[in-house]
Structure 1
């Protein structure tokens, strides 16, 4: 991770996303939501500041 000089990495595990979503469009929205939340956490920001459309769907 960041403490050992390597950049942080966001990992999205396929199976949990597939289980929680029904179809391609819902899966894409879920992946987008997860990535926005993780990037916001890494940057110390709110998800809405990373993507102003966060939570609209």
Structure 2
């Protein structure tokens, strides 16, 4: 018997071996969702800039 050989109890049975449990789920984001979010953020930025311009005009 070679010293590097696995012992009898170290041999794993493929049927008894359980697959790893992956609790994390990857969220799939579609291109439509990304475009929609982009346009929403741009609309908010435009509204913010317009408000700042109006305030600047009223102060001046």
Normalised by the size of structure 1, how large is the TM-score? Answer: 0.40
* Higher RCO, Cα 8 Å, sep 6+: 1
Q: Which has the higher helix share?
A: 1
Larger radius of gyration: 2
Normalised by the size of structure 2, how large is the TM-score? Answer: 0.38
